[in-house]
Each structure stands twice: as structure tokens, then as C-alpha cells.
Homo-oligomer: A and B are copies of this chain.
Amino acid sequence: MSIKHIGKQTMLFQNPPSVIGSACVVGKKEGEGPLYASFDSINEDSYFGMETWEKAEMAMQKQALSLALNKASLPAGAIQYIFAGDLLNQCIGSSFGMRDSAAPFLGLYGACSTMGESLALASMTIDGGFADVTAAVTSSHFCSAERQFRFPLEYGGQRPPTAQWTVTGAGALILSASGNGPYITHATIGKIVDAGIKDNNNMGAAMAPAAYDTLRTHFDDTGLEPSYYDLILTGDLGSIGHSVVVDFFKDDGIDLSAIYQDCGLMIFSDEQDVHAGASGCGCSAVVLAGYILNGMRAGRWKRVLFAPTGALMSPTSVQQKESILGICHAVAISTEIGA
């Protein structure tokens, strides 16, 4: 078998694709948080100038891709394949957001793990020799997510302390077979993990076992120690899920705390009253596309393991008493290759 497949679930890229452009677009609340300086566009209007929140989400994706292309100094026609997904029913944020892209389109559903899934597949497409330039795009919107997954906003439902706040934001990354990095070096594709959690106001606990499983497998498959990375970053586990992952690794005799963070704990400040943290496909996408990749380019981190998690469920599956399934895809990003 090829050396591109290592261990059980990990792809090792021989010619690691380079991130040649990344951009993130967010809403007002995200713009008031600690990462405000890393966002390319902050919109005060939750409708982003559109008639509905769903159309706002479509507009965010379109804008994020356009800004990422500008940063990569590429015309829209340069993208050979777009990998995109979101949380909305039938992923309409992505299909309508990418409608005018004129690029071959591969729709994904990975819930909040989507930026991990899309980066893995976009990288595989390049390293496999099938394309020179690909894109990974995703989004979420607080208002479209609340009314789809929970209650109409007008109802004013109370949020328990375990609840997380869906990020309004879209992120886009452009990958290329040539470039100066940061580079995508590995992808570990996650299995579905059913921890038996049925409370859709406690997504962090439902997803944390999947995060542990994928991270553990990544280290086993690659033979790398967690300390190889300057930063290990889950997507939107929030405070509860983050502490579960720390505890799981502690049981393995590994103290992750110095290098492990969660995007859901970074994007809002404590004063912003989001309870257990942030969530949504857009959460990890905008933190990666802005703060993390900017930091890597500036030399703050050399090696980052980006591991967004998704909760695979729908209101229908919850009503039918199914548990909330977790999944996590890990993508290793490095400013240096060939070391």
C-alpha cells in the first residue's frame, strides 16, 4: 500500500498543499469578541443586507470565498473543485452561496466538523494529482440555526448553562499544489462515535468522545506525540467538551492543557454571556481562517493540529429519541515541510 495511508485512518500528503488564501466573515457579536482584529469583514446587520437569515448565510459564504480569492490573487475561475457544507437543511447555505462560483462543486455534510472534512478532501484532491487549486468553505448563522434546530427566536426560549452559541460566520480557504504555506501535511478522518448523549443543549459532551478518538488515532497512526504540535485545536466543544477531552488524555497519562485549545472558547469573551462557549460550522472555520492562519504566518505557531467536531443529529432524530452522534476530522497544518 501507498505511503500516503498511514495507520488506520490517516492520510499523509506527499506534496502537502499550501493554503494560499484564507478569509473570514462574521456578524456583530463575533466582531465584539476578542478575535475581532482577525476577521476580514464584520457585518453589523444580522441579515447581511438580505431578506432572510438563510440568504444572509449564503451571502456570507459567497463573500468569504471572494475575499479568500482576492488574498490568493486568483480569479474565481482558478478554483478547480469547491468542497463546501453547512448546517442548514439540505445544505442550502453552501449550494446557494456557491451558485455563482462556476466551479465544480462537492457538497458535504459533516455538521461542525465540515471545515476539517472539506480541508481533508480538498488536500487529497491536490496531493492525489487531480487538481492544482481547490477551496474549502463553510458557514453557520446564529439566527438560521436557532430557528431550524431549536425554537423560533421570537419565542425567547431559555438557554441552559450547557448550551452553546452558534457563531454567525463563514470561512474559506484556498489550497494550491504550490505555495509558501502554511501546508496541510496530514488528515485523520474520524469515525462516528455514539456516546449516548441525547440532550441537544449539551453538544460539547456529545462530541468530546469523538474528538478524543480522532486525536488519539492521529497520534497512534503518525507516531507523533501531542507535544509535536504547538497548538491542538478542537472546533466547538466549549467548556464542557474541552474539559472532557483533557480528562480523557489525563487518563492516558498525557497533560494536554498547555497546548490544547477550543475555538468555541476563543471567539467570545466571558462577558459576552454565551454559556458553555461557541458552536457552529462557522466557529472553527473563522477562527482557523483568521486568527490561527494569521498567527502561523506571523510565526506564532509552527505546527497546528486542527480538529473540528460535528454533532450528527437533526431535530427529527432527537424527537425520535436517538442519541447525538459525534464525529471529528483532524487536519495537521505546518509552516514547514520536508523536515
* A-to-B contact residues, CB < 8 Å: 1-2, 4-5, 9, 11, 51-52, 54-55, 80-81, 85, 87-92, 94-96, 98-99, 101-111, 117, 120-121, 124-125, 127-132, 148, 189-192, 194, 312-317, 320, 322, 325, 327
Provided the pairs A104-B190, A107-B117, A192-B95 are in contact, do residues A54 and B320 lie with their beta carbons within 8 angstroms? yes
Q: Check B107 against A312 for contact (C-beta < 8 Å).
A: yes
Q: List 26 A-B contacts (CB under 8 A).
A: A1-B132, A5-B129, A5-B130, A9-B104, A51-B320, A54-B317, A85-B109, A88-B316, A90-B314, A92-B313, A92-B314, A92-B317, A92-B322, A95-B312, A96-B322, A96-B325, A101-B191, A104-B189, A105-B189, A105-B191, A106-B110, A106-B117, A108-B108, A121-B121, A124-B130, A125-B128
Which of A85, A88, A104, A191 has the most chain B CB within a 10 Å cutoff?
A104
By beta carbon, the residue of chain B nearest A51 is B320
In the bound assembly, the distance between CA atoms of A92 and B310 in angstroms comes to: 13
**Further pairs besides A5-B129, A92-B314, A92-B316: 17, Cβ < 8 Å:** A2-B129, A4-B129, A5-B80, A51-B320, A52-B320, A54-B320, A81-B189, A89-B90, A89-B316, A90-B111, A90-B313, A92-B312, A92-B317, A94-B109, A95-B313, A108-B108, A124-B128
Q: Check A11 against B130 for contact (C-beta < 8 Å).
A: yes
Q: Check B89 against A89 for contact (C-beta < 8 Å).
A: yes
B88, B105, B121: the one within 8 Å of A106 (CB): B121
With a cutoff of 8 Å between Cβ atoms, the chain B residues found around residue A125 in the complex are 124, 128
In the bound assembly, the distance between CA atoms of A125 and B127 in angstroms comes to: 10
Which A-B residue pairs are the 7 nearest by beta carbons? A128-B128, A2-B129, A104-B189, A95-B312, A90-B314, A4-B129, A89-B89
Q: Check B316 against A54 for contact (C-beta < 8 Å).
A: yes
With a cutoff of 8 Å between Cβ atoms, the chain B residues found around residue A96 in the complex are 312, 317, 322, 325
Shortest CB distance A322–B (Å): 6
In the bound assembly, the distance between CA atoms of A217 and B235 in angstroms comes to: 38
By beta carbon, the residue of chain B nearest A327 is B105
In the bound assembly, the distance between CA atoms of A5 and B55 in angstroms comes to: 34
Shortest CB distance A127–B (Å): 7
B2, B87, B95, B320: the one within 8 Å of A90 (CB): B87
Q: Check B99 against A192 for contact (C-beta < 8 Å).
A: yes
Q: Check A105 against B314 for contact (C-beta < 8 Å).
A: no
B89, B314, B317: the one within 8 Å of A314 (CB): B89
With a cutoff of 8 Å between Cβ atoms, the chain B residues found around residue A1 in the complex are 132
In the bound assembly, the distance between CA atoms of A98 and B189 in angstroms comes to: 15
Provided the pairs A128-B128, A317-B54, A320-B54 are in contact, do residues A109 and B121 lie with their beta carbons within 8 angstroms? no
